[in-house]
Structure 1
Amino acid sequence: MATTLTSSTIAGAIFGSALTLSGVYSPWIIISQMQNSNFHMLQTFLTASGCSTIAMILARKYGIAPCAPRSQSTLGMFPYDGNIIGGLLLGGGMTLTGACPGTVLVQIATGIRSGCFAFVGAILGGTLYSMAKPYLVSRSGSRGAEAVKDEPRTVQQYVGMKEERLVLVYEAFLVLVLLLAGLTERAENVLFPPVVGGLLIGVGQVASLVLTGSAVGVSTAYEQLGGASKLAWRYVSGSGEKSGSRPAYNSIAFAGGIVLGSWVLSQVLDFKVPGGEAPIAESTAILGGFIMVLGARIAGGCTSGHGISGMSTFSVASIISVAAMFSGGMGLAFFV
């Protein structure tokens, strides 16, 4: 147990350092991406995804980690309903907060004020989801279970293409998009170009695979925190069982590592927030953090879990979740 938590913390610290150096933790960077006025986030994100694809194939080939594609998240209404609805909420929360479930931890470590309020909302969102999860699972029922069981999980299963060929097509597509996005204006105060930042995040993925046997993902930590809070309340109030199963804490350790790694780096290096801090009201940050994490858990993953890790396995659920995330974020940015 202690060894697992230590490995998760170290992996989180490496990943958090990569997020910090890449600059994608900046509220301005994220909001500007949703407004389509700056593409630093997209360039970093796609580079990290390309690196992660290769890393996960090698990890699976050499038995380092299973790297299984994510299955759809269902609420029992229609296929991929959880991925779509959750992704839309996640993207909307990102626009309101200028953060994602992973980068909000870096914002706390680097002293970005709005990140602290977004974190409060994120904890509330994780707590609500942990309370509502039994109902959501029972609501989806056997219909949802059968849909997940029978539906193809990956793009290659849908189109009948070999994974090796699909990897080449995907990597070529990423290179093309990166070249086009590279023609746009560069963000201010970034330590590294977005491609370098993406490569560093790819290193963080490798560290997670080697140290924990799992791909990166952050939003589960908020659900675990919510479960721990619920358990503590039941213990104090005497309203529930004090024994029995206990929530896992590996994702919490990974999230704690992100904060630790980012904080240490911020003390060693003197750098400014890329693009400067965005003026985000406290109430907006709390609301955004709440719907961001609630959406991420409904979708079964966040920007890291679905975007960097899930898309790297060509998971259809992850691709749909990420598409919904950007649609929700950009759609809300159009109005606000």
Structure 2
Amino acid sequence: MDASIRKRANEGKKKMHDMLDSMSESEENESLSKTILKLATCSAAGLLFGIAIEKGRVFEPLVIQDQMTMDRFIMVKMFLSAVSSGMFSFSVLSMIPATQKKFQQASQVFISGFSDKGLFSVGIGAAILGAGMTISGSCPGMVLVQVGAQVPNSLYTFSGALAGALLYGFIEPTVVRLTRPQYPLRTHYLHKYLGSPFSVVALPFGAVMAVIVFGLELFAPWKSELPKSVVESGGMALTRIAWPPFVAGGIIGCLQIPVLLAVGDTLGSSSSYCTVASQILVSSPLQKMSPYLSKFKSGISNWWQVLYIGGAIAGACFSATASGTIGQAAGLSRTAAFSGGVLMVLGSRLAAGCTSGHGLSGMGLLSFLSMLAIPAMFMGGMATAAVVKIF
């Protein structure tokens, strides 16, 4: 009798263990499948980003340089359109009960990198970023599209960007010690300072930016800023050489939604260079040489951006191939491409954000530091353009 009871008890324990093992395996599979879905979403968002940037023609080095000399306004039209649609996207997410928590988490993630940053470091870093943009005719997110569209010497810009990430990684302790703010910001967002819901402040701001884009289009129509053969290219949407910059920008701003819902973060590019650069730290002694880069080595919070920029390269290549323009955009010299690449990522890391991080996301979230970074970036770029023009 006792043996029979013990046998049934052992059989029951075995079934329980089997059930727990099955549940554990199911949870692991679910976790893996969720991770794959998140990374696939980021890759798809990057693909659309690459297509939109390539079709908007803002990836061309000369278009970026001409913006800094105020000779063309394609870049600023796309930028403001992307920020405007991003503000609308964030507002929708902040108002829907099912996504409010995700929006709040993403807002916290965005400012988590500002613990050692103040007005000085962000302003100086953004100005260096702007200088690098003028010299290279690129930016941390744009160079990926240039690589995909096979812009001459764009790989030198990319190599310079990686070098800039490595350089900052090794000098970061000194830079932080010299630039750490004595009185850090207590409130990082305009709407929180005003004590208002995000959408109440963001929607009017977004509307103002849309009006500015409309005014710029009246002043300088996008069709007048590109060659006639480019503007009049026919065919379906993907086979056209150019889209209106405000259409391309609107698409980019809406990409905030899938990225935020997938990984609880916002659009950015410069951190991905740190993730790639950190892979050279293959031993503990090397990792101790740069604790800053070491924290980028692993984790979905770091690698999603790498998948995103990989998608951007593929999207730009696909878009340029579809329109028959791959490799046709004019590039800059190798020296300008590499040195500008170094400066733009070095500045981005000092400022804790790039044109995507501070521009599309920070401005879209109403970040005070981003509202400083973007004017500083353009001032640095325009000042550099003025100096280059003189010499």
Q: Report the equivalent of 2:142.
A: 103
2:150 alignment partner, SS class:
coil
Q: Report the equivalent of 1:178.
A: 213
Q: How far has the Cα of 1:245 moved from its partner?
A: 6.9
Name which of 173, 179, 190 aligns with 1:155: 190
Distance 1:50 1:283, change over 3 A: same
Distance in 1 between residues matched to 2:142 and 2:183, nearest whole Å: 33
8 Å CA contact 1:73, 1:82 repeated in 2: no
Would you tell me which structure has more helix in proportion to its own residues?
2
Q: Report the equivalent of 1:291.
A: 343
Q: Report the equivalent of 1:58.
A: 92
Q: How far has the Cα of 1:56 moved from its partner?
A: 1.5
Distance in 2 between residues matched to 1:245 and 1:157, nearest whole Å: 30
Q: How far has the Cα of 1:12 moved from its partner?
A: 1.8
Distance 1:239 1:293, change over 3 A: closer
8 Å CA contact 1:87, 1:295 repeated in 2: yes
1:313 alignment partner, SS class:
coil
1:76-111: CA deviations, max 9, x gaps?
Answer: 7xx411110110000000001111100100101111
**Ranges in structure 1 where 5+ consecutive residues have no aligned partner:** none
- TM-score w.r.t. length of structure 2: 0.75
8 Å CA contact 2:274, 2:296 repeated in 1: no
Q: How far has the Cα of 1:170 moved from its partner?
A: 0.9
Q: Report the equivalent of 2:56.
A: 22
Equivalence map 1:44-123=2 (5 Å):
44-61=78-95, 62-63=98-99, 64-65=102-103, 66-68=105-107, 70-71=110-111, 73=114, 79-123=118-162
Q: How far has the Cα of 1:127 moved from its partner?
A: 1.0
8 Å CA contact 1:91, 1:328 repeated in 2: yes
Count of matched residue pairs: 322
Q: How far has the Cα of 1:250 moved from its partner?
A: 2.4
2:129 alignment partner, SS class:
helix
1:111-152: CA deviations, max 9, x gaps?
Answer: 1013211111101001111222344345556xx4x733x432
Q: Report the equivalent of 1:247.
A: 297
Superposed CA RMSD in Å reads 2.7
Larger CA Rg, structure 1 vs 2 = 2
Greater relative contact order (CA < 8 Å, ≥ 6 in sequence): 1
Distance in 2 between residues matched to 1:85 and 1:181, nearest whole Å: 28
Q: How far has the Cα of 1:29 moved from its partner?
A: 1.5
Q: Report the equivalent of 2:355.
A: 303
Distance in 2 between residues matched to 1:300 and 1:284, nearest whole Å: 24
- Of stretches 131-140 and 41-50 in structure 1, the one that deviates more from structure 2 is 131-140
**Ranges in structure 2 where 5+ consecutive residues have no aligned partner:** 1-31, 231-240, 289-293
Q: How far has the Cα of 1:166 moved from its partner?
A: 2.1
Q: Is the counterpart of residue 213 in structure 1 residue 270 in structure 2?
A: no
- Of stretches 306-315 and 194-203 in structure 1, the one that deviates more from structure 2 is 194-203
Q: Report the equivalent of 2:251.
A: 200
- TM-score w.r.t. length of structure 1: 0.86
Q: How far has the Cα of 1:288 moved from its partner?
A: 0.4
Q: How far has the Cα of 1:185 moved from its partner?
A: 4.6
Amino acid at match of 2:191: Q
Q: Report the equivalent of 1:329.
A: 381
